Amino acid sequence: MATYFDPKAWSPLRAVDLGMDLGKRLFDQTWVDQWASFTTAWIEPVTDFGVGTVTALMPDVLMTLLSEGILSQFGGQEVSATFLGHDLRATLHTLKARRRGAHFQTKTVLTELYWNQHRVEELTVIAHGVRLVPGVPTKVRAQQLDVTGVISLAALLEWLNTWQRDWELSPAADGLVLARHRRRRVRALVDADITDNVLTIAVRSAHWRGMRAPRRMTMLKPIPLSDLPSRARIISTQRVGEHVCFAADLPGLAGSFDLAQIRSAIVTGTTLIIF
């Protein structure tokens, strides 16, 4: 006998955010039973579902289950996850999902994010054109990701040091950057900016062996930030005190996840894995 998830118990198009009283529903036995029934039907849609309205609603229901379940378990808490092979941990504040035409749009807000040990103070990710494909594992695809965030100047410079080999960059007074050449004995106070994946460095003052350096020694060519993870593009940066606000985008991404593992993570609070 086919088992159907009751769509009246959920609002598939409802945005999910902190402040909703979802904890009680998460640990209610009915909720867990519906999780089990629904995930079985999602993984084996031909066996448990016929054609028609119920099948058409399945992605909406799953998006609601995932967003409400993850937020109710991890909202306001530090969450650990493996995303496309990278380890991250952060505090989850917002997770919203809504339908946009034939696909979904999701919004995620994280703070105190550590991505491969690099700290980001705040990160907002809006994924466009999100699709879920049933099966084992369940596949997820997004047409584009728009990313905005805040990172400390020190953390940004530490990250930039891994992408260019000539200069060692560190914070200096008045919001400037101290640049030390790794081979020449040149020290310079510079202002830096990233636009469209190009790091531009403007020299304010420079010295070589204690003397003012000749201009030819401080001619810094723009540094392209090529080969960023997942073909990311840094659109712009703006320094605000000791922090830098940035905007970036990523082209289409595809990943997959074990729905049973996600269910276990939601119920028990273990690590989320998307690979």
Give the pLDDT score at 20.
40
The dihedral sign for the CA sequence 37, 254, 79, 235: negative
All residues at 6 or more sequence positions from 268 whose CB lies less than 8 Å from its CB, including other chains: none
Cα 24 from Cα 14, distance rounded (Å): 18
Give the pLDDT score at 255.
84
- Mean pLDDT, range 247-263, rounded to an integer: 85
Which residue type occupies 106? Answer: T
Give the pLDDT score at 185.
82
Comparing 268 with 151, the larger pLDDT belongs to 151
Whether the predicted pLDDT of 168 surpasses 70: yes
Give the pLDDT score at 26.
44
What are the domain boundaries of the chain?
7-143+253-267, 154-249
pLDDT per residue as tens digits for the range 52-87: 444 445 677 778 778 877 887 788 888 887 776 778
Nearest to 157 by CA among 186, 143, 138, 177: 177
- Mean pLDDT, range 194-205, rounded to an integer: 90
Nearest to 147 by CA among 119, 109, 112, 113: 109
Read off the pTM: 0.75
DSSP character at residue 212: E
pLDDT per residue as tens digits for the range 82-139: 776 778 889 999 998 988 888 999 999 999 999 878 899 999 999 999 998 877 788 8
Cis before 137? omega within 30: yes
Most confident by average pLDDT, 87-91, 135-139, 145-149, 216-220: 145-149
% the chain with pLDDT above 90: 25
Whether the predicted pLDDT of 225 surpasses 50: yes
Whether the predicted pLDDT of 24 surpasses 50: no
Burial code (b: 16+ CB inside 10 Å, e: under 16) for 16-42 equals: beeeeebeeebeeeebeebbebbbebb
Instruction: Give all strands (DSSP E) within 134-274, no chain letters.
Output: 138-142, 144-152, 167-171, 177-181, 186-195, 198-208, 211-212, 223-224, 233-240, 243-250, 253-257, 272-274
Whether the predicted pLDDT of 152 surpasses 70: yes
